[in-house]
Structure 1
Amino acid sequence: MSLSPGFDVVHELTASSSGAEVFEHGWQSFSPTTAYPLGTRPHRPTSERNRMLNYRQASHPGREGYFSEGVLAVADGSGAVHVVAAADPFTTGVRLQAVADPGGSVVVGADGPVAVTVVPGSSVQEALRSWAVGAVEGAGLAPARPAPTAWCSWYEYWGDVRETDVVENLGAMRTLDLPIDVVQIDDGYSAEIGDWLTPSSTFTDLRGLVEKIRGEGRRAGIWLAPFFAGARSRLADEHPDWLLRHPHGGLLHAGNNWNQDLYSLDLSHPGAAEWMSSVFSTFAEWGIDYFKIDFIAAGAIPGSRYSGVDPVTAYRDGLRLIRSAVGPSAHILGCGAPVLPSVGLVDSIRVSADTGHTLEPGDGDMCSPSQQAAVLSADGRQFMNGVFFANDPDCLIVGPKVENRETWAAHVEKVGGAVVSSDRLLGLDDWGLETTRRLLTR
Structure 2
Amino acid sequence: MHNPFTPIASLPVNPRTARVHEEGWQSWSPSGAYALGDKPYRPTNDNWATVCYRPGVTVPEDTFQGEGLLALDPGDGTPVRLWAAVEPTREVPSIRLVVTADRAEVSADGPVKEWTGTDIQSVLADWASGLGLQAPRPAPSVWCSWYEYFTAVTEEDIHENLRAMDTLDLPIDVVQIDDGYQKALGDWLTLSGRFRSRAGIADAIRARGRRAGIWTAPFLVDPASDLAAEHPDWLVRDVDGGFTHAGRNWGHDLRVLDTTHPAAAAYLTSVFTTLRAEGFDYFKVDFLYAGALDGVRHARVDALQAYRSGIELIREAIGPEAYLLGCGAPMLPSLGLFDAMRVSPDTAPHRRPEADDYSQPGQDPAEFTGVGRQWQHCRLWINDPDCLMARPAVETRERWAAHVEATGGLMASSDRLLSLDEWGVTTTRRLLSGVDQ
- TM-score normalised by length of structure 1: 0.95
Residue 133 of structure 1 is matched in structure 2 by 129
Residue 152 of structure 1 is matched in structure 2 by 144
- Give yes or no for the alignment of 1:412 onto 2:404: yes
Matches within 5 A, 1:257-276: 257=244, 258-276=250-268
Residue 23 of structure 2 is matched in structure 1 by 25
Residue 212 of structure 2 is matched in structure 1 by 220
C-alpha deviations, 1:6-34, integer Å up to 9, x for none?
11112222112321111101100000001
Residue 229 of structure 2 is matched in structure 1 by 237
Residue identity matched to 2:91: T
Instruction: Choose from 322, 326, 350 the match for 1:358.
Output: 350
Residue identity matched to 2:96: Q
- Give yes or no for the alignment of 1:84 onto 2:80: no
Distance 1:231 1:40 in 2: 41
C-alpha deviations, 1:103-138, integer Å up to 9, x for none?
x2112111111100122xx22111111111112x2x
Instruction: Give the paired residue count.
Output: 427
Instruction: Choose from 338, 343, 347 the match for 1:346.
Output: 338
> Secondary structure of 1:99's match?
strand
Residue 249 of structure 1 is matched in structure 2 by none
How many Å apart are 1:283 and its aligned residue? 0.2
Matches within 5 A, 1:108-119: 108-119=106-117
Instruction: Choose from 233, 240, 247 the match for 1:253.
Output: 240
The range that moved more, 291-300 or 255-264, is 255-264
Residue identity matched to 2:277: E
Residue 56 of structure 1 is matched in structure 2 by 54
How many Å apart are 1:64 and its aligned residue? 2.0
C-alpha deviations, 1:341-365, integer Å up to 9, x for none?
1111011011000000001012221
Instruction: Choose from 44, 59, 68 the match for 1:70.
Output: 68
Residue identity matched to 1:219: R
Distance 1:320 1:260 in 2: 29
Residue 106 of structure 1 is matched in structure 2 by 104
Mapped contact 2:179–2:215 kept (Cα < 8 A): yes
How many Å apart are 1:5 and its aligned residue? 6.8
How many Å apart are 1:60 and its aligned residue? 1.5
Distance 2:240 2:222 in 1: 10
Mapped contact 1:58–1:302 kept (Cα < 8 A): no
Mapped contact 2:146–2:179 kept (Cα < 8 A): yes
How many Å apart are 1:439 and its aligned residue? 0.4
- TM-score normalised by length of structure 2: 0.96
Identity %: 48
Distance 2:279 2:167 in 1: 24
Residue identity matched to 1:17: P
Q: Which runs of 5+ in 1 are unaligned?
A: 247-251
Distance 1:396 1:387 in 2: 23
Distance 1:5 1:440 in 2: 46
Distance 2:321 2:107 in 1: 40
Distance 2:416 2:330 in 1: 31
Distance 2:38 2:166 in 1: 50
Distance 1:234 1:93 in 2: 35
Instruction: Choose from 110, 119, 123 the match for 2:119.
Output: 123
Residue 247 of structure 2 is matched in structure 1 by none
Instruction: Choose from 353, 362, 370 the match for 2:362.
Output: 370
CA RMSD of aligned residues (A): 1.1
Residue 428 of structure 1 is matched in structure 2 by 420
Distance 2:228 2:396 in 1: 41
| Runs of 4+ more than 3 Å apart | none
Distance 2:208 2:285 in 1: 24
> Secondary structure of 2:156's match?
helix
Distance 1:46 1:349 in 2: 25
Residue 159 of structure 2 is matched in structure 1 by 167
